[in-house]
Amino acid sequence: MNRATFSGRNDDPDILQVLEAIPDAVVVIDTDFTVRLVNAGFTALTGVPRTQAIGKKCYEVFSGDMCRTSACPMNRIDKGVEQLRYEGDKHCACGRSAPGIITASAYRTPSGELSGVIEIVSDMTPLYESRERFRKAMGGVIQAMSLTIEKRDPYTAGHQRRVTKLCRAIAGELGFSWDRTQGLRMAAAIHDLGKVLVPAAILNKTGELSEQEMAIIREHPRTAYEILKNIDFPWPLAQTIYQHHERMDGSGYPQGLKGEAILLEARILAVADVVDAICCFRPYRPAAGPEAALAELSALRETCYDAAVVDACTKVLTEGKVNLGACRNKNPIG
Ligand SMILES: [Fe+2]
């Protein structure tokens, strides 16, 4: 196919004036991938001076994740797409890599023939950095809450951390995305938050609990829900914790939910929670160990626990994909 090349002059003062007024990086690329024009925003982002960029191939000075693939914007525009907008990392010849929002538009001659592509790259580095700071701060707050619960109730020390670890492994086995796994990890890290309203005398009691004491303990998922429900997390944290003692057959508490009415996150948390509770405590004997936990899961698979979650948990434990580590606590609540 006979194609036109970019017809604008590289030193056209009108074009340059327009380009320099744009704070984003602008690069005009010919159909043969030759860079024809760049603006000061391009140099600011890439560190590559205009004189070193013009005339080079775009993938030599400013490559992206799609370079040399069928997803390359030039290839897609060549196939008739008029404009593309996507998020991606841009790698500069200077070694710097920048996350950006990229808009690639067809550049045509007055007669409509494809002449090349105009790429505008908005540098998202500051946004990504502040998002990362926010994410770390949120993780820190969750961690602080977790430690607060464990300080007040030493019997749960380590329990939430081990449950978090197991939840992450099960989520990996079930194909959870990184983001969804983050939400589950945070819920697991504070799943016993509601114990803050359970009197210490009950938490620390070594003998058998009365009906009334058990009723108080059974309120802890609801208490956590009340504390968390108005925080606008990007994950269903409050609901996951609210439901972590629900069972598939409706025999759980506090709402008596059944089957798929229970969030998958909560079904995973329920399994991880009970495994750690069995591994670490029996009122009449010391820690029962992972074999006893797996036997319990197998016995209650489908009645109490989600079958797919039980299978995933069994797999990660038997294949040694997760090591719960030392377990010394004697948590009677789970
Ligand atoms: Fe619990």
The tens-digit pLDDT sequence of the chain (334 residues) is: 444 444 445 567 787 788 889 999 999 999 999 999 999 999 988 888 889 999 999 888 888 777 877 778 888 898 888 999 988 888 776 677 788 899 999 999 889 899 999 999 998 888 888 988 998 999 999 999 998 888 877 667 788 999 999 999 999 999 999 999 999 999 999 999 999 899 988 887 778 889 999 999 999 999 999 999 999 999 999 999 999 999 999 999 999 999 999 999 999 999 999 999 888 754 445 666 778 889 989 999 989 999 999 999 999 999 988 877 656 544 444 4
Pair (147, 91) in one structural domain: no
Pair (65, 201) in one structural domain: no
* pLDDT for res 98: 80
Pair (209, 151) in one structural domain: yes
Pair (228, 288) in one structural domain: yes
Whole-angstrom distance, CA of residue 159 vs CA of residue 190: 10
3-state secondary structure 282-327: ECCECCCCHHHHHHHHHHHECCCECHHHHHHHHHHHHCCCCCCCCC
Contact 304, 251 (CB under 8 A): yes
Judge whether 86 lies within some domain.
yes
Pair (149, 91) in one structural domain: no
Tokens 């210490």: give the residue.
200
Pair (197, 301) in one structural domain: yes
Cα angle at 171 between 165 and 175, to 5 degrees?
145
SS3 248: coil
Which CATH number goes with the domain that contains 190? 1.10.3210.10
Pair (288, 189) in one structural domain: yes
Rounded (10°) CA dihedral 227, 231, 234, 240? 20
CA of 137 to the centre of ligand 1 (A): 25
Pair (115, 163) in one structural domain: no
Tokens 């990660």: give the residue.
316
* pLDDT for res 5: 46
Any residues with CB less than 8 A from the CB of 45 and at least 6 apart, and which?
A: 25, 90, 92, 98, 100, 121, 123
Residue 195 known to be catalytic? yes
Pair (220, 155) in one structural domain: yes
Whole-angstrom distance, CA of residue 327 vs CA of residue 158: 8
* pLDDT for res 238: 97
CA of 191 to the centre of ligand 1 (A): 6
Whole-angstrom distance, CA of residue 67 vs CA of residue 5: 20
Rounded (10°) CA dihedral 244, 249, 250, 251? -80
Whole-angstrom distance, CA of residue 41 vs CA of residue 28: 13
Pair (97, 220) in one structural domain: no
CA of 269 to the centre of ligand 1 (A): 9
CA of 195 to the centre of ligand 1 (A): 8
Domain that holds residue 37: 13-123
**Does the predicted TM-score (pTM) go above 0.75?**
no
Catalytic residue among 195, 205, 321, 330: 195
Whole-angstrom distance, CA of residue 214 vs CA of residue 219: 9
